[in-house]
Amino acid sequence: HKNESINKMQSAFLITLADMVESRDENTGDHVRKTASYVKIILDELKREGVYTEQLTEKYIGDVVSSAPLHDVGKINVSDLILNKPGKLTDEEFEIMKTHTTAGGNIIASIIDKIPDSDYLLEAKNLAMYHHEKWNGKGYPAGLAGEDIPLSARVMAVADVFDALISDRCYKKGFPYDKAFSIIREERGRQFDPKIVDAFFAAEDQILEVADKFSENNKQETSV
């Protein structure tokens, strides 16, 4: 029971931390919760299909899902003016925005150093640092390619982009689902791990269920 209450406390702490960072970013209503849900759906589907089975233990999946809300924690280091700019970023601003990956990795690394038994945060560090890497090696910050990119970050890449595509942001309207799906499909083997894209589409119904649930919540909140 003690362990269970510690786990609950850790999860609550991680979500609170993620919410604090996210509340500065006017663009991303429920982004951390939606992406965590998509990540869990994709990981469960990969496991069901027998893909990456050695890595996909129950503990691993639990660690990744509870760490997922922290993937953008490094945005705490990015100025509000850049975070909430209502238009395209300049090259210089984009370079600053890109630093949220290494900043996030460093923040989580320092938490790991200070807290005993915090190995469950190793995946949080991978997610924060590498969720903008691309399967073809053209991402950032490290230009990793293929399976050199940690599995958790490869899964988050798909979840993160899908949510960004379908969501309204201060600089754009969300795309319809079919348009977002076609973009994900086009990037199979370029930006994204093909096996993860296949699992994403195999679990399409569950993905849409989550997307619909959150868009309904948003509609209710705005009409109140």
The pLDDT, as a whole number, for residue 17 is: 76
Residue 60 CA to residue 52 CA, distance in Å, equals 12
Lowest mean pLDDT among 5-14, 88-97, 163-172: 5-14
In this predicted model, which residue has the larger pLDDT, 220 or 56? 56
What is the reported pLDDT for 223? 45
| pLDDT, tens only, 61-90 | 999 998 898 899 999 899 988 988 888 899
Please report the pLDDT score of residue 220 as a whole number: 54
Interval 50-54 mean pLDDT:
96
d(CA 180, CA 167): 10
Instruction: Flag whether pLDDT at 173 surpasses 80.
Output: yes
Average pLDDT over residues 117-143: 94
Sole residue written with tokens 């500065």: 24
The pLDDT of residue 184: 98
